[in-house]
Amino acid sequence: MAGFSRATARIRRHVRNRKKVKGSEIRPRLAVFKSNRYIYAQVIDDSKGTTIVTASSLEKEMKEQFKGKVNLTVAKAIGAEVAKRASEKGISKVVFDRGGFLYHGRIRALAEGAREAGLDF
């Protein structure tokens, strides 16, 4: 992969993974994206092409609640929040789409937070 940037490598991993990971009405896809500063999670029904619920560290109440906190703590809370919102919509099972990111650090913390809050994947 010489000559590829880190971002290009992530996009290639994501495209390769998305060929296998598909969300449905019964088991929607929990998609995760992280930037250097924020983390975002969405539950998506790919059969309809609609986003069912979202949660991110960019939301005003989340920013205020986690001001000055460590990224792992924030990621775990975002996972719990998206799981809570999904359960309110009657969703308990999802497939996990890590978005080409390695299952490590903030991505792992978000997944663990979602599992602890009741999402099954």
Does a structural domain hold residue 46?
yes
Residues 93-117, mean pLDDT to the nearest whole number: 96
Give domain status of residue 105, yes or no. yes
108 lies in some domain:
yes
Domain count, the chain: 1
Q: What is the CATH number of the domain that holds 23?
A: 3.30.420.100
- Per 3-state DSSP, the chain is made up of helix, strand and coil in percentages (nearest 5) of 40, 20, 40
**Domain assignment present for 1:** no
Closest CA to 105 of 81, 85, 66, 79: 79
CA distances from 94 to 10, 63, 82, 120 (A): 22, 26, 11, 6
Average pLDDT, the chain: 93
Domain that holds residue 107: 6-116
Query: What pLDDT, on the 0 to 100 scale, is given for residue 41?
Result: 98
- At 94-104, the pLDDT tens digits run 999 999 999 99
Average pLDDT over residues 42-64: 95
> Can you point out the beta strands (E) in the chain?
29-34, 39-45, 50-56, 95-97
**pLDDT band with cut points at 50, 70 and 90 for residue 69:** confident
121 within some domain = no
Reported confidence tier of residue 24, pLDDT bands at 50, 70, 90 = confident
| Residue 101 placed within a domain | yes
